Amino acid sequence: MGEVSSMRSDRTVRSRRKKKTRRRSSGVLGRFFKVFIILIFLLGVVAWVGDMIYTNFLGSGDENSSENDVDGDGVPDEKLELNVAVLGVDKDATRTDVMFVVHFDSQLKKISMLSVPRDTKVTQIAPKVKKIYDEDDRYYQVPTKMNAIHAYGGDKGVECTILQLEDFLGVDIDRYVKFNMEAVVEVVDAFGGVDFYVPMDMYWDMRDTGDILIDLKEGMQHIDGEKALQLLRFRHDYALQDIGRIQTQQDFIHALFEKVSSTENIVKNLPSIIKTVFKYIETDIGLGDIAKYLKYVDTAVESDISMETIPGVGEPVYYIPDEEGKKKVVDTVFYNKTSENEDTKKASYKGKTLRIELSNGGNTKGLAGIKKNMLERYGYNITGISTFNGEKQGSTRVVVKETGVGEELLSYFENAELIVDDSLVGNEYDVKIILGLDEK
């Protein structure tokens, strides 16, 4: 279970960065991997007080480490900064379908997550990865996709992926959690499913290759484990390709976290959670690590969460990262550097009370559903979705009944304009957002 534990066991969790002024991070909010962090903490409780039958956690952490020790009151007396790579692998456990790096800062009470699209173009294999490939006589090719690094590495796939991510992002990764996507089925079912708006009809028949059938209809519905797996794996018909898929994944993850984040829910489903952890999850987080991290459970649960995605452009084969944008997002996630105007990316009190209709006036399938999930993450109340039958326009129109309403919504859309027209809104809503042809 400790595939790269020997490589990482001597790397103590350390405070690597100077304290920065705290600002709220913007970007696409996600919650799912906070659950994984909390599950690891809970796993530590079970292992610590149980009969130690889960001995595969022993030996991969420094149980005698005094770093981040606590005083008699049980309160951590030292700052903890931790970077954890979270890798979701496909059915054959070869390629990585999901890649996140989670940054936890106990002092700022902040969990930041950075998603790396699976199709990210890799034009240069990291030197340490190339050395492993060459020494083990592994086949590889360049350019390639980020998700292929794991497959090329064979038994050292996790180690190679972490080293490539470190080279790509320019940060150190302390620990990893690797899970099979099948874990999603059992985790979602353990909590009784999730109510979620599927943004478009999704159909993809892979049964001829021994894989699953994806067959979901657009609309609000109850998503059980099997449907969740279909939702998270579907990657066709998105206007933004891999990024569209990631956005839907993060929307669902947010909905799942809202359901499972209460202590009562976690404790009630603890047996199923622990079973899933050991069946589908591999990690180099050892018993000694867990004992140390347990001191920060309350801090983790109370933490603000932000999620970002590596910016770039989707092409038919590769996702091309924007190098300047990547630098900015790395600064945001790992160094707490944010722009001054990012606090605006949160619904105001007035914004939360508005009844908003989203009307798809563009040509992108499922766009209204995607935007609905996005706005709800920021606290807005989307009470209706429709297809706009009037004249289509390039820019998105935010239509309100009176002046002084809806201006904060403009920043979420491409070249949006604010229009005051009571007749277009109707009695059931306060705001009608007509998505334009330019919206993606």
**Residue 308 pLDDT > 50:** yes
Report which of residues 40 and 425 the model is more confident about: 425
Report the candidate in 68, 31, 122, 36 with the shortest Cα–Cα distance to residue 307: 31
**Residue 51 pLDDT > 80:** no
Tokens of 57: 């956690």
**What pLDDT does 187 receive?**
80
Q: What is the pLDDT of residues 220-235, one digit of tens each?
A: 999 999 999 999 888 8
User: Can you tell me whether residue 418 is helix, strand or coil?
Assistant: strand
What is the distance, to the nearest Å, from the Cα of residue 210 to the centroid of all Cα atoms in its chain?
28
Report the candidate in 370, 362, 100 with the shortest Cα–Cα distance to residue 234: 370
Question: Which of 62-71, 108-117, 149-158 is predicted least confidently?
Answer: 62-71
Q: What is the pLDDT of residues 323-366, one digit of tens each?
A: 999 999 999 999 988 654 444 455 666 777 899 999 999 888 88
**Residue 88 pLDDT > 70:** yes
The side-by-side arrangement of strands in the sheet containing 397-400 is 381-387, 355-360, 431-435, 397-400, 417-420
**What pLDDT does 16 receive?**
34
**What pLDDT does 393 receive?**
87
**What pLDDT does 347 receive?**
63
Query: Following DSSP, what letter does each residue of 123-169 receive, concatenated?
Result: SS--HHHHHHHHHTT----SSEETTHHHHHHGGGHHHHHHHHHHHHH
Separation CA 3–CA 170 (nearest Å): 22
**Residue 124 pLDDT > 90:** yes
Confidence class for position 198, pLDDT limits 50, 70, 90: very high
**What pLDDT does 230 receive?**
93
Confidence class for position 31, pLDDT limits 50, 70, 90: very low
**What pLDDT does 26 receive?**
31
CB 57 within 8 A of CB 290: yes
Share of the chain above pLDDT 70, in %: 70
Confidence class for position 409, pLDDT limits 50, 70, 90: very high
**Residue 32 pLDDT > 60:** no
Share of the chain above pLDDT 90, in %: 32
**What pLDDT does 420 receive?**
94
**Residue 7 pLDDT > 80:** no
Which of 232-246, 371-385, 423-437 is modeled with the greatest confidence? 423-437
Burial label, 405 (beta-carbon count in 10 A; 0-12, 13-18, 19+): middle
Q: Which domains does the chain have, with CATH numbers?
A: 5-342 (3.40.630.190), 346-435 (3.30.70)
Confidence class for position 181, pLDDT limits 50, 70, 90: confident
Is cis: bond before 143, omega within 30 of 0?
Answer: yes
Mean pLDDT of 177-195: 84
Which of 202-206, 248-252, 304-308, 345-349 is modeled with the greatest confidence? 202-206
**What pLDDT does 310 receive?**
92
**What pLDDT does 331 receive?**
93
